Amino acid sequence: MMTIQILAYGRLKEKYLRDACAEYEKRLSRYCTFRCTELEPVALPEKASDKEIAAALEKEGQQLLKRMKGYNIAMCIEGKLLDSVQLSEKIAAAGVLGDSTVTFIIGSSYGLSDEVKRRADLRLSMSPMTFPHQLARVMLMEQIYRGFQIQTGSKYHK
């Protein structure tokens, strides 16, 4: 069975978001082993300098690089825009090519280090719009679930 993991900086604070993630985790359990690892972002002052931000991204990047497995998808604004069917095909192709793990990587509020982006097999953007990180996690989980529904020919995806 395929493993889908999300590496995400920050904790879900609102109960309704935790509940939504729990629901998608339950739904995904029929199709894959699912894990979401919440990492603690590097603390930065409110008005961090570019140098402080770069150092924080580097430190966070080192933590991510140690945890990245299989086919790695970096979630970043400058990534490719894929529709739901294309994302489903990417997940399925990773399994066919022998990657039993697909790892989605969500950075902190300042994004991801350049090294993490370079090491990723795919850079993926959810939209040119900006979403709160916590909501983006729920949206990503829904799209992963939708991808499995597409693969099985379910009517969920219309």
Query: pLDDT per residue over 18-62, tens digit each?
Result: 999 999 999 999 999 999 999 999 999 999 999 999 999 999 999
Closest to 34 (Cα-Cα) out of 147, 156, 151: 147
Query: pLDDT per residue over 99-124, tens digit each?
Result: 699 999 999 999 999 999 999 999 99
Beta bridge partners of 91: none
What type of residue sits at position 4? I
Instruction: Name the strand (E) or helix (H) holding 5.
Output: strand 3-9
Length of the chain: 158
Q: What whole-number percentage of the chain has pLDDT above 90? A: 89
Domain boundaries 3-43+69-152, CATH class: alpha beta
pLDDT for position 97: 72
pLDDT for position 96: 76
CB neighbours of 27 closer than 8 A, spacing ≥ 6? 145
Within a 13 Å sphere around the CA of 96, how many CA atoms are in the beta-carbon half?
7
Domain ranges of the chain: 3-43+69-152
